[in-house]
């Protein structure tokens, strides 16, 4: 059986691609390009190649994928569940369904959807999910090849819909639709930034405002309008929500590990807040 732990260079990835996915393409690559050129292609083309084990834990990501997702240290994600926690909830749900379908049907599954990188910037990926078999015809790993797609296609569709609405219900309603779109985009970015930084116990309202390129007062005003919560309470609620996910999934062995993972410095304080959180949810 091919051991995923051995996937530590470009040649191994090409071999795995050739084993199950698009064999004609990889054979052309190998016959017409040098190994150095193949390495450059994997490093610089907008292609994010991921190898997962059968529990969907990440075993490998191509350098090009790491760069696209703005991840500083990909090794910290190895052995962790995919899709990543900083992705939007809707994408995580759809990707999980696609991964399960690929394993269950042993067929290639495709999907296209918007994601965000580690810093909260929006991207759009077309993903191909391929179950890879060993010599005994049993699945041994999952290959996910994601190619960046332009965001403009979806934007053009939305613009066309807005123009149709303008003809039917007037300019004022269009402005309301546009404002709603802006608000949704703002909240998505806020939530993703908080999720990506919650393990940092120094991450606070000032840090969030800085990453959003706005003043603290502007952030407070917009969050209060959208959620009814102050920025500090919003961040705290997101930490507690994530802690509850960790606890329910038994990700950590101790409560202290969970507390530290979501940015709480003191276990006693975390325990008090978490008990109150559970009483209100």
* 179 Cβ contact partners less than 8 Å away, ≥ 6 residues apart: none
- pLDDT score for 147: 87
Cβ proximity of 154 and 124 under 8 Å: yes
Cβ proximity of 153 and 129 under 8 Å: no
Phi, psi angle pair for 123, to nearest 5°: -135, 165
* Of the candidates 108, 173, 175, the residue with the CA atom closest to the CA atom of residue 145: 108
- pLDDT score for 75: 87
Q: What dihedral angle (degrees, nearest 10) is formed by the CA atoms of 91, 59, 45, 96?
A: -20
- pLDDT score for 86: 87
- Residue 57: asked if its preceding bond is cis (omega within 30°), the reply is no
Question: Which residue is listed with tokens 């952030």?
Answer: 219
Q: What is the pLDDT along the chain (281 residues), one digit of tens a residue?
A: 333 333 444 455 545 454 444 443 444 444 555 666 666 666 666 688 999 998 999 998 988 889 889 998 888 889 999 998 888 888 889 999 999 998 888 889 999 888 888 888 888 888 999 988 766 667 678 989 998 877 654 555 555 555 555 555 544 444 454 444 445 688 899 999 999 999 999 999 999 999 988 999 999 999 999 999 999 999 999 999 999 999 999 999 999 999 999 999 999 999 999 999 999 87
| pTM for the model | 0.46
Rounded to whole angstroms, the Cα distance separating 208 from 176 reads 27
Tell me the DSSP string of the chain. ---GGG--SHHHHHHHHHHHS-HHHHHHHHHHS-HHHHHHHHHHSSEEEEEE-TT-BEEEE-HHHHHHTT-S-GGGGTTSBSS-TTS-HHHHHHHHHHHHHHHHH-S-EEEEEEEE-TTS-EEEEEEEEEEEE-TTS-EEEEEEEEEE--THHHHHHHHHHHHHHHHHH-HHHHHHHHHHHHHHHHHHHHHHHHHHHTT-TT--HHHHHHHTTS-HHHHHHHHHHHHSS-HHHHHHHHHHHHHHHHHHHT-SSSHHHHHHHTT-S-HHHHHHHHHHHHHT-
Rounded to whole angstroms, the Cα distance separating 47 from 169 reads 42
Rounded to whole angstroms, the Cα distance separating 35 from 12 reads 11
For the chain, list the domains and their CATH numbers. 4-148 (3.30.450.20), 152-279 (1.10.10.60)
Rounded to whole angstroms, the Cα distance separating 262 from 66 reads 23
Rounded to whole angstroms, the Cα distance separating 215 from 208 reads 10
């Amino acid at each position: 059986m091919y051991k995923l732990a051995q996937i530590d260079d470009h040649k191994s990835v090409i071999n795995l691609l050739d084993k199950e996915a698009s064999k004609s393409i990889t054979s052309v690559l190998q016959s017409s390009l040098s190994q150095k050129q193949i390495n450059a292609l994997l490093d610089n083309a907008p292609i994010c190649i991921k190898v997962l084990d059968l529990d969907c834990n990440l075993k490998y990501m191509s350098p090009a994928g790491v760069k696209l997702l703005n991840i500083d240290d990909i090794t910290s994600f190895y052995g962790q569940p995919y899709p990543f926690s900083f992705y939007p909830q809707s994408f995580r749900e759809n990707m999980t369904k696609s991964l399960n379908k690929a394993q269950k049907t042993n067929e290639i599954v495709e999907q296209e959807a918007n994601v965000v990188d580690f810093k909260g910037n929006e991207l759009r990926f077309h993903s191909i999910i391929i179950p890879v078999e060993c010599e005994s015809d049993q699945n041994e790993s999952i290959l996910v090849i994601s190619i960046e797609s332009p965001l403009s296609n979806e934007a053009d569709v939305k613009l066309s819909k807005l123009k149709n609405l303008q003809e039917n219900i007037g300019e004022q309603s269009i402005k309301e639709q546009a404002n709603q779109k802006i608000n949704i985009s703002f909240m998505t970015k806020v939530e993703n930034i908080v999720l990506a930084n919650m393990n940092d116990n120094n991450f606070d309202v000032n840090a969030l405002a800085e990453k959003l390129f706005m003043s603290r007062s502007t952030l407070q005003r917009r969050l209060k309008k959208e959620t009814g919560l102050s920025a500090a309470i919003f961040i705290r609620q997101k930490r507690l929500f994530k802690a509850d996910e960790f606890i329910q999934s038994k990700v950590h062995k101790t409560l202290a590990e969970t507390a530290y993972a979501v940015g709480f410095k003191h276990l006693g304080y975390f325990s008090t807040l978490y008990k109150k959180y559970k009483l209100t949810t």
